[in-house]
Amino acid sequence: MIKKSDVIYNNKTFKLEGSGIQEKKTRAKDLAGYFSDSAAYQALDPETVMYRVEYQDNNLTEGTPGGLYFGITHLYPGVVGKEYYLTKGHFHAKRETGEYYFGLQGRGLLMMTQNSETRLEEVVSGSVHYIPGNTAHRLINTGTEVLSVSACWQTESGHDYASPEEMFPQRVICDAKGERVITSNE
Ligand SMILES: [Fe+2]
């Protein structure tokens, strides 16, 4: 017997469809301390949705070894002051575990910090990104449309939201010409 998959990726809407799809919204009020321009941050409507993560609830328990999760992050375009919208980013609680990201739509950057060294990879439709273990990772939307990126990570990985200063000593801002400029946190 052949059955259809429980979940389908819709390549027109860039969303997951099917059974067990969960969604977690992150709003402006959840990102206190993440943007350099605190006045611009305070001016945001706290309920503004900055990004959504949809994932398949496959009944596995986070923290148990052996399994995998699959999800898609949709990060909206915009700036807080001059700083592009970003995800919180995290280490994995089980630090040595890696993860794959795969770009679906939009244009942005993947920021990764390993051993206090930060690097950036260009995220576009079709780009594949291996995030090694012991590496903090976040997405930054530097484009004008939603940045959608799928991810596959281990059930045992978990999330460790260390302080943003520790995870990401660099920032990406939009200069007066609309160009991306990398600055340091200080
Ligand atoms: Fe991760």
- Within-domain flag for 5: no
pLDDT for the residue numbered 185: 82
| CA 14 / ligand 1 centre spacing (Å) | 20
CATH of the domain at 172: 2.60.120.10
- Within-domain flag for 138: yes
- Within-domain flag for 136: yes
| CA 2 / ligand 1 centre spacing (Å) | 33
- Within-domain flag for 143: yes
Residue-wise pLDDT tens for the chain (186 aa)? 999 999 999 999 999 999 999 999 999 999 999 999 999 999 999 999 999 999 999 999 999 999 999 999 999 999 999 999 999 999 999 999 999 999 999 999 999 999 999 999 999 999 999 999 999 999 999 999 999 999 999 999 999 999 999 999 999 999 999 999 999 986
Q: Which residues contact 47 (CB under 8 A, 6 or more apart)?
A: 27, 28, 29
- Within-domain flag for 73: yes
- Within-domain flag for 8: no
| CA 115 / ligand 1 centre spacing (Å) | 17
| CA 28 / ligand 1 centre spacing (Å) | 20
Q: Is 172 exposed, middle or buried (0-12, 13-18, 19+ CB in 10 A)?
A: buried
| CA 180 / ligand 1 centre spacing (Å) | 24
pTM value? Answer: 0.96
| CA 177 / ligand 1 centre spacing (Å) | 32
- Within-domain flag for 120: yes
| CA 89 / ligand 1 centre spacing (Å) | 8
Number of domains in the chain: 1
| CA 91 / ligand 1 centre spacing (Å) | 7
| CA 159 / ligand 1 centre spacing (Å) | 7
- Domain carrying residue 119: 17-184
- Within-domain flag for 174: yes
| CA 25 / ligand 1 centre spacing (Å) | 16
| CB 46 within 8 Å of CB 29 | yes
Question: For 175, left (φ over 0), alpha (ψ -120 to 50), or beta?
Answer: beta
